Amino acid sequence: MVQDKENIFEKHPKKTLGLIILLILAAFYGLCSIKFINNQYTEFENKSIKTILHQYYVGKIIDNNVGRFIKLREHRPNQEKFERPTRNYIKHLEPNSVERKYYRVATDKHGFIGPSEIHENPDYKIVFLGGSTTECLYMDEQHRFPYLVGRQLEKTLNKKVNSYNGGVSANESMHSLNILMNKVLPLQPNIVVFMHNINDLVILRSQTTYWYTDSLKSHVQASKNIFTRYEFPPTEKVYDEAKITEEFRRNLRTFIAICRIRDIQPVLMTQANRVKDDALYHRFNDVIREVGKNEGVLVIDLAQSIPASKDYFYDSYHYTASGAQLAADVITKELEKRLIDSKAAA
């Protein structure tokens, strides 16, 4: 008589069912983390299966040969991609302020958003560093203010100008200092324009320091996997307003010092906005003005120059195309005077 063989589910039905549920939950968590289901944590970390496998094997190489490393948080060099705002993102904006379409983001060999290196031998090189308010992701590339400034300066000065957009969504000032040291200095630009506020404030409020860990935005990184979260780790730390303000001030002074040592003109900008109920945010703009005055550095005060209007901002911080144009006009006027004065002094 042939005895029927039991499969593993028949032998251990409860354990097998529990294992299947656990695997499903783990897969669901992983999918959430890599933006297949939502973008709460990985707004700017779109990952395909190819990318996941690539990161896995690169992570193994890093663990075995490199260990920890300092992350240069930039757009990939020589890349063309098309970014479309999510429905979740759009629903929190002013109605009809941003079209839900694909926006071209093409980078040069340095990882700056183009068009950038228009001239092989320019008379002036100007680099803009900042977060998403500099990046101007969700608008056509010819409307982003770093590009516009270069083109407008060419007309007013009758000189060849390359302007570089070094804005990266969610970057704070420490990210920009890393970028300054490791890819801006070799360009030997004439001017570097530095605009930070809200991203620094968010980080310092939640983490109380720039040296936070266990985030894709952390400065010191090890290999990451699909379970690495985009946002900051939870913390019960209570920030001290005076201390985090001083941390921000020190980063601004560090930027100025590095530029001066390398014979680059540093320029600070306040962040234009429609913020009404955040005194510390406005205090950070005041710190920018104070540091500029104390250090004898030009401050382009966009917060004072651009009205807090829905015509110019599609949310509290980000420009519409009209806002980017107005920002470009203000910046061009200020940099034009600075470049003319520096040429006369030379």
Q: Which residues pair with 221 in a beta bridge?
A: 69
Q: What pLDDT is attached to residue 245? A: 98
Asked if residue 20 belongs to a domain, the reply is no
Task: Write the DSSP assignment of 105-157 as a string of letters.
Answer: EEB-TTS-BSS----SS-SEEEEEEESHHHH--SS-GGGSHHHHHHHHHHHHH
Asked if residue 335 belongs to a domain, the reply is yes
Q: What pLDDT is attached to residue 222? A: 74
Asked if residue 42 belongs to a domain, the reply is no
Length of the chain equals 346
CA distance 186 to 179: 11
Asked if residue 6 belongs to a domain, the reply is no
Q: What pLDDT is attached to residue 328? A: 98
Q: Are 208 and 240 in contact (CB under 8 A)?
A: yes
Residues spanned by the domain of 336? 68-345
Q: Tell me the helices (H) and strands (E) count for the chain, helix number first.
A: 12, 9
**Which tokens is 33 given?**
């983390």
Angle at 172 between CA 246 and CA 224, to 5 degrees: 125
End-to-end CA distance of the chain: 104
Give residues with Cβ within 8 angstroms of 336, minimum separation 6. 153, 156, 157
CATH no. for residue 197?
3.40.50.1110
Helix (H) or strand (E) holding 195: strand 191-195
Per-residue burial over 242-280, b if 16 or more Cβ lie within 10 Å, else e, is: eebbebbbebbeebbebbeeeebbbbbbbbbbbbeeeee
Per-residue burial over 20-33, b if 16 or more Cβ lie within 10 Å, else e, is: eeeeeeeeeeeebb
Give residues with Cβ within 8 angstroms of 5, minimum separation 6. none
Mean pLDDT in order along the chain per 10 residues (346 residues)? 59 76 75 44 46 59 69 92 89 88 95 95 97 97 98 96 97 97 97 98 93 83 62 76 98 98 98 96 98 98 97 96 98 92 58
How would you write 262-294 as a 3-class SS string? CCCEEEEECCCCCCCCCHHHHHHHHHHHHHHHH
Identify the burial level of 68 via C-beta atoms within 10 angstroms of its C-beta, where 0-12 means exposed, 13-18 middle and 19 or more buried: exposed
Query: How many domains, the chain?
Result: 1
Q: How far is CA 195 from CA 11, 109, 215, 311, 331, in A?
A: 64, 23, 23, 21, 12
Q: CA quadruple 66, 67, 72, 78: dihedral positive or negative?
A: positive
Q: How far is CA 192 from CA 127, 220, 255, 299, 312, in A?
A: 5, 25, 9, 12, 24
Asked if residue 27 belongs to a domain, the reply is no
Single-letter amino acid code for the residue at 332: T
Q: What pLDDT is attached to residue 71? A: 84
pTM comes to 0.82
Q: What pLDDT is attached to residue 35? A: 45
Q: What pLDDT is attached to residue 117? A: 93
Asked if residue 178 belongs to a domain, the reply is yes
Single-letter amino acid code for the residue at 181: M
Asked if residue 137 belongs to a domain, the reply is yes
Asked if residue 180 belongs to a domain, the reply is yes
CA distance 11 to 284: 65
Q: Which residues pair with 167 in a beta bridge?
A: 130
